[in-house]
A and B are shown apart, each in its own frame.
Chain A
Amino acid sequence: MIAANPATGTPRPPAPPKPWTNARIAGHVLMALWAIAGLYLVYYLIGNLEKPILEFLLPYLPIDWQEYANERLALQTFDSYLERYGQKYIDGLIVTLQIVGLSLLFGAALSIPIAAARSSKWKIFSWPAYGFVYFFRGTPLIAQTFLIYYGFGSFRPELQSIGLWWFFRDAFYCVVFAFTLNTAAYQAEILRGAVQNVARGQWEGAAALGLSKPVTFFKIILPQALIVALRPYGNEIILMIKGSAIAAIVTVFDMFAETKRAYSRTYDFQAYIWAAVLYLMIVETLRRIWDKLEARLTRHLKR
């Protein structure tokens, strides 16, 4: 125990016992109810996995357990939710990852010229870049997706005449296009902020050493900017993953669309729980990767 007074070594007096007030009792009761509800939820979800788990374990179980397991398996006359829709979720997950992956990649590529134009001294570059960022950060992603999907959809003859209809006809391309523009705007701002955040002295020091501008940028400024930009980049990716559910309303069968379809067939709320679990798993994976990346980028700051 830490002494209350280090000089004399007098121990800290014991804390007075907390009285069981009404509020405290109510708190405990509510907490218990929530805990029970949570446990029930887990039990309910695991019930789905009983059949595959038993089937997997069967050969390894002792003989008398095998009998019991077979009895349980015989009771499972219909396929569980996961067996019926699990594959659909995986298909949807792949589409979701494709949409997010492609948009982030194209968005990152697009963000570099936008960030450069935005920081340019020439208004002919900086104003359009400002307008682009202003529009795409200031309007909802769902509105942008609708504008691109249904907006371009109504210009079919024009698009056909310039040979672009194949692109805008496909919902998947439209969604990737909309998401790319949206994330490019955010990523440009992250990049610009991070580069501007690096102290001017770094440029000046490099110039004093006779390094050229490109070398200074890529070898000195960018590594420092990336440390600042890493967390905002991570946030942007997470937002894109969650935002990708918007693809479902323009007919792309991403994970959320598959969830909705499964739900419409079963009206079973676990449809959305499994979707939440999958989204959480993606985000958690990403978080761990990001921790590793940060450790790597800041290794010179660690002792």
Chain B
Amino acid sequence: MRILRLAAAAAVVLAGVGAAQADDWSKVRIGTEGAYPPFNSLTSDGQLVGFDIDIANALCEEMKVECEFVTQDWDGMIPALQAGKFDAVIASMSITEERKQKVDFTNKYYNTPPAIGVPKDSKLAGVTKEDLSGILLGAQSSTTHSNYAEAHFPDAELKLYPTADEYKLDLENGRIDAVIEDVVVLSDWLATENGACCKVLSTLKSDPVINGEGAGIAIRKGEDELKEMFNKAIVAIRENGKYEEINAKYFDFDVYGD
């Protein structure tokens, strides 16, 4: 009997590992990075702000669920989602085939092209493979931008940084010749005092295989109910003007794309 009881206890524990929680979506935990302005960043007193955060709050309000934010380093975002540290990633994550093999995505909630940023006195003329050959090119690691650089600028020497802040520092002090980043993120930084050193050289043509169809909300595979809730909410805030309102707060053009 004792052995049976023990086996039963073990079975319960093992089952618990498999299904960490029931599908009751009154409360949703949202993972975000907090180091990617203007989409998501932390203020000096530790508050999360940005387009992603406002959109997330609007979506949660629309879905009538309580949302709790969890900050997580970019490199560990998908593993943390899979491990159940949070239920959805709203952190400007591009919907790509590579990621789709591990997680599910909602429809996009915005889509902006990548761009090349350089110091103002840069001698770079264009953004073709030949133009960028031999230069030091910075990017954030584990991003579509770093993948784009590896695929399209194989002759550039790629430098990978854990967060956007660090390659900005190195572009500013001239360690690297150029960076590849979302045009909106670049422009936002260039408008600040620290970004005065630099300029956008040119936007790049999105590569559908690498950049995917835009930024979506990542959720664990098989959580279809939550995915549908988010998809409906995205449509709803697009229609009721909430999206437009948030968009206008940050940008002077529609970041949703076409």
Contacts and interface: CB of A to CB of B under 8 A. Distances in A.
Interface in B116-164: 138, 141-142, 146-147, 159-162
B159 A260 contact: no
The interface size bin for chain B is: 20 to 34
Contact of A29 (B2, B6, B175): B6
Given A260-B142, A267-B78, A156 B173 contact: yes
B173 A260 contact: no
A120 interface: no
A261 B160 contact: yes
A49 B3 CA distance: 40
Contacts of A251: 138, 159-161, 170
Interface string B171-214: 00111000000000000000000000000000000000000000
Interface string A134-161: 0000000000000000100110100000
A169 B175 contact: yes
Among A156, A253, A264, A269, find the residue whose CB has the most chain B CB atoms closer than 10 A.
A264
A249 B73 CA distance: 13
Nearest to A159: B173
A268 to B, nearest CB: 9
30 contacts: A25-B2, A25-B6, A29-B6, A153-B170, A154-B169, A156-B174, A169-B174, A171-B159, A171-B175, A251-B138, A251-B159, A251-B161, A251-B170, A253-B160, A257-B160, A260-B75, A261-B141, A261-B142, A261-B160, A263-B75, A264-B75, A264-B141, A264-B146, A265-B147, A266-B98, A267-B78, A267-B82, A267-B101, A267-B102, A269-B79
Interface of B: 2-3, 6, 10, 75, 78-79, 82, 98-99, 101-102, 138, 141-142, 146-147, 159-162, 166, 169-170, 173-175
Given A22-B2, A251-B161, A265-B147, 19 more contacts: A22-B6, A25-B3, A29-B6, A150-B169, A153-B169, A153-B175, A154-B169, A156-B173, A156-B174, A169-B174, A251-B159, A251-B160, A251-B170, A253-B160, A257-B160, A264-B141, A267-B79, A267-B82, A267-B102
